[in-house]
Amino acid sequence: MAKAVENRQNGIMDSFPQFVGKEELLAKVIEFFPYPIEIYDPEGTTVLVNKAMLEEYHVSDPSAVIGKYNIFKDPVIIASGKMEVIKRAFSGEKVFFPDVKVPLEEITEKYAIKDLDLEAVYQDITVFPIFNDMNQVAYVAALLINTRVYRGKDEIKKAKEYIESHWTERFDLDKTAKAACLSKSHFAKLFRKHTGVTPYEYYVNYKIGKLMEKLLDDNLTIAQAFAACSMDYNGHSAKMFRKRVGVSPSVYRKMAK
C-alpha cells in the first residue's frame, strides 16, 4: 500500500524537472498546486509555500513562514530521528515518509494560528530536490498529501447521530467509535472534550430523554414506557432516572400533568 502511494507521488513529482531554469513558471505552478507544498533553499530555509499549504493551517500571511522556518532546526524533526534521511534530499535524493502525524500543537503555537478545527492529521510526505541546469540542487520541495484528517466536530457529529439512531440498542463503544472513524481511545477523549460527557453518558442521557417523552403518554403504564425504551422497570433503572431527572418516574409523570 505504501509503495502504491509513493508511486502516485512520484507521478506528481515527474512534472517538476521540466521547469528547470524557469523559476517564475515553477513558482506559479506550485502556488496553485492542489496539494500543500513547501519549498526550501539549499540551507533548509523556507522560500515558498503555496495556497494549499496556507489554507490547510489557516495561515493568512505567508511571511509568517517564509524566511523564518528552517527544516534543519525543527525540534520535532530532530526528535523524530528523521533528520539524516531528510538531508539526503538536499544531497539530490528523493525520500518518502508514509503516514506521518502532523505536529498540530507545535504548528499552531509557532504561527499563532487560531480556530484550527483539526484534531489530528496524518500525511504522506515526499521530500525531493529540484535541480538547476547544472544538475545542482537549487531547491528542495516537500509535497504533503493528507491520508487521514480528524476535524473533531465532524467526527463527534457522526457519533451523536449513531447514538441517537441506535439508542434502543445496548451501548457499544467499539461500534460508536467506528461510526466516527476513530480509534476507541482517541474517540472517547475527543467526545468528552467536545461534549463534556463520555459517549456512554450521552447515550444514557439521550435514552432518559426518550423515556421522559414516553412517560407523558397516559396510554402507557410506567413499566410499558420503560419497555418502549428497551429498559426494564426495576430499582436500578428507576434510580438511574431519578439521578438524572431529580424525581422518580411516577413523580415526574404527576408533575408533567
pLDDT at residue 255, rounded to an integer? 84
Cell 540551507: give the residue.
Answer: 43
Q: Give the HSE-up count for residue 12: Cα atoms under 13 Å, Cβ half-sphere.
A: 24
* Phi–psi pair at 123, nearest 5 degrees: -135, 150
Residue 193 is predicted with a pLDDT of 83
Residues ≥6 apart with Cβ < 8 Å to 103: 76
CB 161 within 8 A of CB 168: no
Interaxial angle between packed helices 184-195 and 153-165, expressed in degrees from 0 to 180 and rounded to the nearest 10: 90
Query: What pLDDT digit, counting tens, does each position of 188-211 carry?
Result: 888 988 888 999 999 999 999 999
What nine digits make up the cell of 115?
Answer: 480556530
Per-residue pLDDT at 117: 67
Cα angle: 48, vertex 53, 58; to 5 degrees: 120
Query: CA-to-CA distance for 153 and 97, rounded, in angstroms?
Result: 28
Q: Which CATH class is domain 153-256?
A: mainly alpha
With contact defined as beta carbons under 8 Å apart, do 152 and 117 qualify?
yes
For 136, the grid coordinates are: 545542482
DSSP 8-state code for residue 167: T
So where are the chain's domains?
2-150, 153-256
51-82 per-position pLDDT tens digit: 999 888 878 888 889 999 999 999 999 999 99
Amino acid 8: pLDDT:
52
Residues of the chain short of pLDDT 50, as ranges, are 1-2, 5
With CA atoms as reference, report the closest residue to 200 among 159, 236, 246.
159
3-class DSSP assignment, residue 90: coil
String of DSSP letters for 19-85:
GTT-HHHHHHHHHT-SS-EEEE-TTSBEEEE-HHHHHHTT---GGGTTTT-BGGG-HHHHHHT-HHH
Whole-number pLDDT of residue 154: 82
pLDDT of residue 86: 97
**Residue 133: per-residue pLDDT:** 83
What does the alpha-carbon distance between residue 66 and residue 31 come to, in Å, rounded to a whole number? Answer: 14
Helices (H), ranges, the chain: 2-13, 23-31, 51-56, 75-80, 83-89, 104-110, 153-165, 173-179, 184-195, 199-215, 222-228, 235-245, 249-256
Q: What fold is seen in the domain 2-150?
A: Beta-Lactamase (3.30.450)
Query: So what's the pLDDT on residue 19?
Result: 62
